[in-house]
Amino acid sequence: MTVNKARKIRDALIVAGFAIVLLANVYEPLFLVGTAVVASCLIPHFLYNKCPHCGKQLGRNEGKYCQHCGKQIDD
């Protein structure tokens, strides 16, 4: 799992989750499903959004370089 892949999965989960939440206007129980999908984006975020060089959490850093060691992230 690369950082870029984890970011894409996380973004896809957020978009899908919000889409499901919007559908809750039609079918209310979908609200919980959508919330669960949005919350699940935290899993790839915390497990894989790490620098491949120093292993530290990148947090909100969406850039190409690690803010801890300054090395390039995408691989």
36 or 71, CB closer to Zn ion?
A: 71
SS3 65: strand
Report the nearest approach of Zn ion to the CB of residue 56 (Å): 6
Is residue 24 within 8 A of residue 34, CB to CB? The reply is yes
Q: Does 53 bind Zn ion (CB under 5 A)?
A: yes
**Of 32, 36, 42, 54, which lies in the binding site for Zn ion, with binding defined by CB under 5 A?**
54
Is residue 58 at the binding interface for Zn ion, with CB under 5 A as the rule? no
Residue at 59: amino acid letter: G
Q: What are phi and psi of 69, to 5 degrees?
A: -115, -10
Can residue 61 be called a binding residue for Zn ion (CB under 5 A)?
Answer: no
